[in-house]
Every structure is written in structure tokens, then in C-alpha cells.
């Protein structure tokens, strides 16, 4: 009797070693069913705080709680086998101090089984990244457009046109890399800037509105499947229009219920399904 082949989940060192090599495929996942569907196709599942808008209908990521992230992170880990799972640290649980960040991150790692946490910020968060990585918590960084800072940034917009802003983003990415992060997300930055950062730092860059030169790419799954609203950011490519499929399926179901065509005999217990030989 041959032993079944075990599946080894990708680790953060595995992804770190992909710098300049095979691009890293990343999508968001917030639920067990979606994680199960995505797992065999991606390298990294990101349990993003974007779940606040996608799952809960919130206006931004700011109201998302640590408990929400842990609940969804644990579901994604349980439903996946091979992808590295990274969970966002939500607003307010890590900015106060490295110690606060460690307490929040330790809960995430212990209660979800995820392989890493992700936090937003550059130079101002480098000390925190170093503090976490020195204590056994792998960290993914996030610079450029940082949604948790939307009120400071003045809205969701691409960054890096202004030379001073561009240099600040480069400095942010360098600081996060030097602090020990295993990768960094570059969101909504000018393409030449994302390309430059990718060339200059030693860890993989994950683009979302960045550059094809980035070491990997990430999208919100509901965006790329056409499941989330009508607004489509420039950096999103729709690979399907699943909202139309869902709408059509629900309309068919509703029509059959209202006309008593569903359920049929084959869907009921104790009723023999008619056959052509029945008299």
C-alpha cells in the first residue's frame, strides 16, 4: 500500500526566494469556499481587510476589527492546503507601538494558522516590522496607496507622479525591505516607479496597479470575477462577469418557485419520479 502524497504549503522563505524568478500569483480570499477554489491555482492567498467592503458592505477598511480578520483568516487556512496564507492587520491594532503590533500578530498567527501578517506603511513602520520579524512573525509590507490611510491621502488615487512623493515611496519600500519583510505590496503607483522599486530592493514586490515587472501580482478576487459592484479600478482586469451569472440563476429559481415548477418530484422525499413505462 503506497503512502498518499502529502501537500506542502508554500512558506514565506519559498516566496522570498522567487525574487526575480517565476512571478508570484496572489488573490484575496475571505471564505472557505472561495479559498478551496483558488488554492490549487495561486501561490498566496491574502485575507485582506478589503473584506470590510466586499463581505460586510462597509465604506472603507477602517471599521474592520481584529476579530473579523481572525475569523476569516482561520476559515481560509482550514480550506486551503498549498497556498501561503497572509492575513492583514486591521487599522488601529498595530500603529501604536511594536509591542501592540506583536500582540495583534501573535493572535493572528495562533488563532488562524496563517503563515504571515501584512501591514501598511513605510518608514514609520520599519521599526515595527523589524520587531515582529525578530520574534518569529513573517511580515508582508504594503506601500504606495495604503487604504487605511485614505483620510490622510485624500482619497483613492494613483501616487508617484510628483517626484518628491515618488522618492518617499522608494524610501518606504527600502525601509520595509531592510527591516526584514519577506515581500511588499506596491499599490496604485506609477509604472516606472514600481519597476524601479522592483529593481532596487532585495525582496519580491507584489503589484496591484503597479507594473508587469513586479515579482508578483494581486487582485481582489471579487473584482476580477465581476462580483463586486459596478466600479472598476483601472488596475482591475475582469476575467469573468459572475454577477450576471448569479442574477440569471436567481431569476430562474424565483420564476420556478412562483410557478410551482420547483421543487419537482425528483427533489422531494417519498414521491416516485414518473417514468415513461408508468401507466
CA angle 43, 88, 198 (to 5 degrees): 55
Percent of the chain with pLDDT over 70: 92
Look at 16-20, 58-62, 232-236, 247-251 and tell me which has the smallest mean pLDDT: 232-236
Q: Please, which pLDDT band fits residue 233 given cuts at 50, 70 and 90?
A: confident
Q: What confidence score (pLDDT) does residue 2 get?
A: 41
Q: What confidence score (pLDDT) does residue 153 get?
A: 62
| Superfamily name and number for 12-241 | Phosphoenolpyruvate-binding domains (3.20.20.60)
Q: What confidence score (pLDDT) does residue 237 get?
A: 93
Q: Which residues are annotated as a binding site for Mg(2+)?
A: 49, 88, 120
Does the pLDDT of residue 3 top 80, yes or no?
Answer: no
Looking up cell 498595530, which residue turns up? 94
Q: How far apart are alpha carbons 275 and 266 in whole angstroms? A: 11
Q: Which residues are annotated as a binding site?
A: 49-50, 88, 118, 120
Looking up cell 442574477, which residue turns up? 247
Q: Which residues are annotated as a binding site for 3-methyl-2-oxobutanoate?
A: 49-50, 88, 118
pLDDT in tens, 27-41: 999 999 999 999 999
Does the pLDDT of residue 221 top 60, yes or no?
Answer: yes
Query: What's the chain's average pLDDT?
Result: 93
Nearest to 141 by CA among 7, 12, 40: 12
pLDDT in tens, 239-263: 999 999 999 999 999 999 999 999 9
Percent of the chain with pLDDT over 90: 85
pLDDT in tens, 94-118: 999 999 999 999 999 999 999 999 9
Q: What confidence score (pLDDT) does residue 157 get?
A: 72
Give the other-Cβ count within 10 Å of 110's Cβ: 10
Q: What confidence score (pLDDT) does residue 32 get?
A: 98
Report phi then psi at 108, rounded to 5.
-60, -50
**274 compared with 124, residue with greater pLDDT:** 124
Provide the 3-class DSSP secondary structure of residue 219: strand
Q: How far apart are alpha carbons 36 and 138 in whole angstroms? A: 23
The four Cα atoms 151, 76, 138, 60 give a dihedral, to 10 degrees, of 0
Clarify whether 187 is annotated catalytic: yes
- 271 preceded by a cis bond (ω within 30 of 0): no
Max Cα distance, the chain (Å): 85
Which residue in 187, 191, 199, 256 is the catalytic one? 187
Q: What confidence score (pLDDT) does residue 170 get?
A: 98
Amino acid at each position: 500500500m503506497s503512502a498518499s502524497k502529502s501537500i506542502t504549503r508554500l512558506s514565506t522563505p519559498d516566496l522570498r526566494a522567487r525574487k526575480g524568478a517565476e512571478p508570484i500569483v496572489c488573490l484575496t480570499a475571505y471564505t472557505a469556499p472561495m479559498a478551496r477554489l483558488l488554492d490549487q491555482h495561486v501561490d498566496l492567498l491574502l485575507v485582506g481587510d478589503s473584506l470590510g467592503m466586499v463581505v460586510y458592505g462597509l465604506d472603507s477598511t477602517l471599521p474592520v476589527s481584529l476579530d473579523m480578520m481572525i475569523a476569516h483568516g482561520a476559515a481560509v487556512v482550514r480550506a486551503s492546503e498549498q497556498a501561503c496564507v497572509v492575513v492583514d492587520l486591521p487599522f488601529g491594532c498595530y500603529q501604536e507601538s511594536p509591542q501592540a503590533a506583536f500582540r495583534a500578530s501573535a493572535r493572528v498567527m495562533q488563532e488562524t494558522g496563517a503563515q504571515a501578517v501584512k501591514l501598511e506603511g513605510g518608514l514609520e513602520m520599519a521599526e515595527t516590522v523589524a520587531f515582529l520579524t525578530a520574534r518569529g512573525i513573517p511580515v508582508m509590507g504594503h506601500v504606495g496607496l495604503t487604504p487605511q490611510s485614505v483620510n490622510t491621502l485624500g482619497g483613492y488615487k494613483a501616487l508617484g507622479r510628483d517626484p518628491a512623493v515618488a522618492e518617499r515611496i522608494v524610501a518606504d519600500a527600502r525601509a520595509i525591505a531592510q527591516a526584514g519583510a519577506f515581500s511588499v505590496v506596491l499599490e496604485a503607483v506609477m509604472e516606472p516607479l514600481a519597476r524601479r522599486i522592483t529593481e532596487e530592493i532585495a525582496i519580491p514586490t507584489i503589484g496591484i496597479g503597479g507594473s508587469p515587472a513586479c515579482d508578483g501580482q494581486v487582485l481582489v478576487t471579487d473584482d476580477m470575477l465581476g462580483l463586486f459592484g459596478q466600479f472598476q479600478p483601472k488596475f482591475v482586469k475582469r476575467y469573468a462577469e459572475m454577477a450576471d451569472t448569479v442574477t440569471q440563476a436567481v431569476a430562474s429559481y424565483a420564476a420556478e418557485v412562483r410557478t410551482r415548477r420547483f421543487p419537482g418530484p425528483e427533489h422531494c422525499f417519498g414521491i416516485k419520479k414518473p417514468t415513461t413505462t408508468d401507466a
